[in-house]
Amino acid sequence: MAIFLLLLRRIASTAGVVLGVAILVFLLIHLIPGDPVDVMLGESAQPADREALRQALGLDQPILTQLAAYLQGVVTLDLGQSLHSQQPITALLAERIPATLELAVVALGFTLLLAVPLGLVAAAHRDTLWDQGAMTFSLLGVSIPNFWMGPLLILVFALWLGWFPVSGRDGAGAVVLPALTLGTSLAAILARMIRSSVLEVLGEDYIRTAYAKGLSRRRVLLRHALPNALLPVITVLGLQLGTLLAGAVITETVFSWPGIGLLTIEAIQSRDYPVVQACVLLIALTYVIVNSLTDLLYAVIDPRIRVGG
Amino acid sequence: MRIWLPVTVLLLWVFTGLAAPWLPLEPNAIDLERILASPLSTGGMGYDDLGRNMLDRLIAGSTTSFLVAFWVVGLSASVGTLIGSFAGYIGGFWDRLLVQVINLFLAFPGILLAIALAGILGPGIENVVLALTVVGWVGYARLARAQVLSLRSREHVMAAVALGVPRARIVRYHLLPLISAPLIVEATFGVASVVVAEAGLSFLGLGVQPPEASWGSMIRDGTRYLLVAPHMVLVPGLAMVLVVLAVNLLGDRLRDRLDVRTGGAGSEG
């Protein structure tokens, strides 16, 4: 019952945020300095063209009518047409989603593969060279932005060694470098969290009990400490998955990876504002929903959360 | 890690950032003989694809990143602190409104909202500052509000209320001094994330306009010549990472010194 109430409350508050996000994204286009039609067509456009675009965008209507039409479009998945390619925006988005999904899944895999051993080793060998090495990696990973990490990986692994393609999404190897770029920066944050979480758990009584039973250090770490230490990490992992699914705009641009993020930048460059709006909306909604699901998952896994509900 | 190393890097950044306009630099001068020349053959930091001196552009770029960091962190920290501490202290409607606004802003991952804003406002350093401030104040508001909430029923505040001290004065003299430590730490890490965000926007072509120099746009220009002139990407990137590392190290040190427990170094780009 408690979990059911929690679910209801969660859905209600998520719905509120979703509505707010949709309105904020709608308002974005009204932030364009001056006349948006001028910005999109240029100062020299014909008056007839301007009028046509104004009507196509609904800018001749009162703002509340525009908002109502926009929200209706969001609910019915009819986001209008791209100004640039004249294609329906929903189709444009659908075309790009698989690429973003693929990148997110592989990048999350890399993140876990890097962060779990690093964090565990650092905690198990606290204040040794291992620990320092892992935490130096973490500091570097946090400080090196993806738009520098990406080109460095391209230089070494694509241009010098020739192991992977430079950019694009052709062939199975193409996902490796962009996913590694995203994975290292996320793993840097996650490894730090896992380290401090494991250290906290290692101080608990049941760990002492496990040692007292005569269990090996390895077994204590992997079977008793790690699962409990990973619980608080789930929240961070959910945030990171949200970021990844949301489309890593910069990383996708570095590698010309044809996902939602690259579409956003392409639309900004061609001043295709309806597409920009749709992309930002999709990204933010994905992020909000993944985060809400993470919270729920957390409550399901850890009964202690439900009590406070 | 000894503290003088990051401090030296930061002082150098601040100095070049402020002094660049008075230094004898020619960041936009073109030397056709030296297009893509590497640092090994010409000394200094080499030349870019238009034959411009990379060292001069690097220093000019430090001005861009320093000014943007200065204004964005300054503006968003003061606006956020003001709004957050007042909402937290007054409570009621304004506080609930602020919490909703904060939740709304947190619904956008990373610098997506800044990218969308900068993309829509158009390029230019003022728009970069505007976009990053609009996104940045929320973090300070949230922190200031949480801090004030935990302090507002302290005895010295109660005493001030009983004495009839006006609200603004209570916030200014009885609350702000107590909440400044975590805000200073947050602002320090904020410098690192703004440097990365500015470079990120410029990398996407949404920051300063050519021929003006930004470390981000220098990296962007360099990605087309990775094989023939890797220094075009290495030089500005290294400068940026050094600054970001220095800020993060300093932030860690400051956090330990001021005994603040907050989230870790965060930068997304």
Predicted TM-score of the model (pTM): 0.89
Tokens standing for residue A272: 């295709």
In this structure, of A103-107, A130-134, B119-123, the range with the lowest mean pLDDT score is: B119-123
Q: Is B8 on the interface with A (CB under 8 A)?
A: no
A189–B200 C-beta distance less than 8 A:
no
Kindly report the nearest CA distance between residue B131 and chain A, in angstroms: 11
Indicate the residue of A39, A142, A154 with minimum beta-carbon distance to B265: A142
Task: Give the mean model confidence (pLDDT) for residues B249-267.
Answer: 71
Q: Residue A88 pairs with which residues in a beta bridge? A: A81
Interatomic CA distance for residues A14 and A197, integer angstroms: 28
Contacts A147 to B, Cβ<8 Å: 199-200, 203, 216, 219-220, 269
pLDDT in tens, B72-111: 999 999 999 999 999 999 889 999 999 989 988 888 887 8
Contacts B266 to A, Cβ<8 Å: 142, 189
pLDDT in tens, A114-147: 999 999 999 888 889 999 999 999 999 989 999 9
Q: Is residue B191 part of a domain?
A: yes
Q: What residue spans of B20-124 are helical by DSSP H?
A: 39-42, 54-90, 92-106, 112-121
Interatomic CA distance for residues B211 and B223, integer angstroms: 17
Q: Is residue B45 part of a domain?
A: yes
Q: Is B124 on the interface with A (CB under 8 A)?
A: no
A144–B241 C-beta distance less than 8 A:
yes
Interatomic CA distance for residues A284 and A243, integer angstroms: 9
pLDDT over 50 at B264, yes or no: no
Q: Is B179 on the interface with A (CB under 8 A)?
A: no
pLDDT category at B265 given cuts 50, 70, 90 is very low
pLDDT over 60 at B63, yes or no: yes
- Residue A198 and residue A229 in contact, taking contact as beta carbons nearer than 8 Å: yes
A154–B265 C-beta distance less than 8 A:
no
Q: Is residue B170 part of a domain?
A: yes
pLDDT above 70 as % of chain B: 96
pLDDT for the residue numbered A47: 80
Q: Is B218 on the interface with A (CB under 8 A)?
A: no
Task: Provide the strand spans (E) within A193-247.
Answer: none
Residue from A143, A193, A254, A276 whose CB has the most chain B CBs within 10 Å, to mutate: A143
Residue from A23, A38, A147, A192 whose CB has the most chain B CBs within 10 Å, to mutate: A147
Contacts B203 to A, Cβ<8 Å: 147, 250, 253
Q: Is residue B27 part of a domain?
A: no
B37 vs B200, higher pLDDT: B200
- What is the CA B186 to chain-centroid distance, rounded? 11
- What is the CA B80 to chain-centroid distance, rounded? 15
Nearest to B112 by CA among A294, A28, A78, A184: A28
A145–B267 C-beta distance less than 8 A:
yes
Instruction: Nearest chain A residue to B100 by CA: give it.
Output: A17
Q: Is B250 on the interface with A (CB under 8 A)?
A: no
Kindly report the nearest CA distance between residue B12 and chain A, in angstroms: 18
pLDDT over 80 at B256, yes or no: yes
A264–B113 C-beta distance less than 8 A:
no
pLDDT for the residue numbered A304: 67
CB pairs under 8 A between A and B: 136
Contacts B117 to A, Cβ<8 Å: 28, 31
CATH at residue B234: 1.10.3720.10
Tally of domains in chain B: 1
Kindly report the nearest CA distance between residue A207 and chain B, in angstroms: 26
Instruction: Nearest chain B residue to A273 by CA: give it.
Output: B120
Interatomic CA distance for residues A272 and B111, integer angstroms: 20
Q: Is residue B266 part of a domain?
A: no
pLDDT for the residue numbered A117: 92
Q: Is residue B67 part of a domain?
A: yes
Nearest to B199 by CA among B132, B130, B266: B132
**Which ipTM was obtained for this model?**
0.87
Structural domain boundaries, residue B147:
4-19+36-261
Q: Is residue B161 part of a domain?
A: yes
pLDDT for the residue numbered B263: 44
**Cβ neighbours of residue B253 closer than 8 Å, sequence gap 6 or more:** B3
> Which three-class secondary structure state does DSSP give residue A45?
coil
Nearest to A122 by CA among A191, A65, A59: A191
pLDDT in tens, B225-246: 988 889 989 999 999 999 999 9
Q: Is residue B47 part of a domain?
A: yes
Interatomic CA distance for residues B51 and B1, integer angstroms: 38
Q: Is B249 on the interface with A (CB under 8 A)?
A: yes
- Residue A264 and residue A249 in contact, taking contact as beta carbons nearer than 8 Å: yes
